Amino acid sequence: MFQGRPVIVVTTLYDRARESYWMLPGYMEGLEEAGAIPLMPLLTQKPEVLNYFLDQCDGILLTGGHDVSPAVYGREPTPQCGETCPERDGMDVAFLKGAVERDLPVLGICRGFQLMNAAYGGVLYQDLPTELSSQISHRMEPPYDRAVHTVRLEEGSPLRQLLGTEELGVNSRHHQGVRELAPCMRPMAWAEDGLVEACWMPGKRFVWGVQWHPEHAYRSSPENRQILEAFVAAAKGQ
């Protein structure tokens, strides 16, 4: 915490072709507007470095990006699996499990949601268009700050309690998804085709994952802003 504002580690995006770290402004600006100080670390799997960030921060945001490697959940890649980044997988799993052990708040977005599921024993669809029959397009075109399908919020779930609604319109920009939810997770939202689109971990202060992208929609959608604000409030101990 710095001057009453929680420090949130925002996991690094990596461009292998350009050999560069990068970040979407929406992750950082959304957290800042919600009252946090966002911090992007280097890409590393060194335990002493990861533990330093975990000891200094108040929460972890797991970002989108590369496909989660099927190796994380013990499967072989299919031809439709996209580019993976083992370095990111290792770092993000270490941040996730370290945060859960410390009871630090965690928010996983898109890939981050999928990685949370995979890290705790869940299974992913490697390519929704070829593995799940659906009338929903999960790969929208820009602009990304608009809703393209709805999700049904699970009755009694923390997300439904926060938003006070049964349905939510969401943006959608992914080709992988949750096939089998991890045993320690509980669903919070379902797409019209039955795909789990949000989850939480009971018994922890705040461990949530969402398949859609609040970082694109928090300015146009009060509900997405509320999700970021709830995460930051948990990081402040509220």
Catalytic residue annotation: 110, 213, 215
CA distance 25 to 42: 17
Question: Residue 190 corresponds to which amino acid?
Answer: W
How far are the Cα atoms of 53, 118, 171, 192, 228 from residue 113, in angstroms, in the given order? 21, 9, 15, 18, 14
Chain length of the chain: 238
Token code pair at residue 73: 């959940």
Question: Residue 67 corresponds to which amino acid?
Answer: D
**Contact status, residue 219 vs residue 145, Cβ threshold 8 Å:** yes
DSSP, collapsed to helix, strand or coil, labels residue 230 as helix
DSSP state, residue 186: E
DSSP state, residue 24: -
